[in-house]
């Protein structure tokens, strides 16, 4: 992780912790985190969440253009993250088998599972119009942000 990434993710984690203080509900926290990411990260065209319903992923809070509402586990980068229970770092979405083009301007994607109680409750999805926008440092930073969200919300109100 570069020094610039370290500074970005440290700031983002501090702001997220402050926003989440005494707010256990996941929806407002996902909404604020989407806005926080969209505000602090450059070269994004979408930042948001898909919520795990148990049978598919359902659109949650986000920043950016309108998006796909339902994503099956068998489709797209978000579906792969949920199905495989691991972060998906995709430098060129057009080369990803089963990619779903909710926004044709997206060229790279980073999707991170959000876990609570040992299960995936949502995925955090970032899209960029630039190929190779995200790297391993971004994946690690967003995994930590997703961990904070997952561990500090009461997901029983949502799932």
Global pTM? Answer: 0.94
Nearest Cα to Cα of residue 32 among 56, 61, 71: 61
How many angstroms separate the Cα of 63 from the Cα of each of 59, 69, 82, 93? 12, 14, 21, 19
Q: Tell me which residue has tokens 């984690």.
A: 13
Per-residue confidence in pLDDT tens, the chain, 159 aa:
899 999 999 999 999 999 999 999 999 999 999 999 999 999 999 999 999 999 999 999 999 999 999 999 888 999 999 999 999 999 998 888 776 767 677 889 999 999 999 999 999 999 999 999 999 999 999 999 999 999 999 999 776
Task: Say which DSSP state 64 is in.
Answer: E
């Amino acid at each position: 992780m570069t020094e610039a990434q370290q500074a970005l993710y440290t700031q983002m984690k501090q702001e997220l912790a402050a926003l989440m203080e005494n707010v256990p509900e996941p929806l407002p926290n996902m909404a604020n985190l989407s806005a926080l990411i969209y505000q602090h990260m450059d070269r994004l065209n979408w930042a948001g969440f898909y919520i795990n319903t148990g049978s598919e992923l359902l659109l949650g809070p986000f920043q950016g253009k309108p998006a796909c509402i339902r994503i099956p586990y068998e489709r797209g980068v978000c579906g792969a993250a949920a199905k495989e229970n691991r972060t998906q770092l995709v430098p060129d979405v057009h080369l990803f088998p089963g990619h779903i083009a909710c926004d044709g301007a997206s060229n790279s994607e980073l999707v991170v599972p959000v876990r609570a109680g040992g299960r995936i409750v949502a995925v955090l999805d970032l899209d960029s119009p630039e190929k190779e926008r995200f790297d391993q440092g971004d994946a690690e930073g967003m995994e930590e942000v997703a961990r904070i969200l997952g561990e500090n919300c009461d997901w029983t109100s949502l799932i």
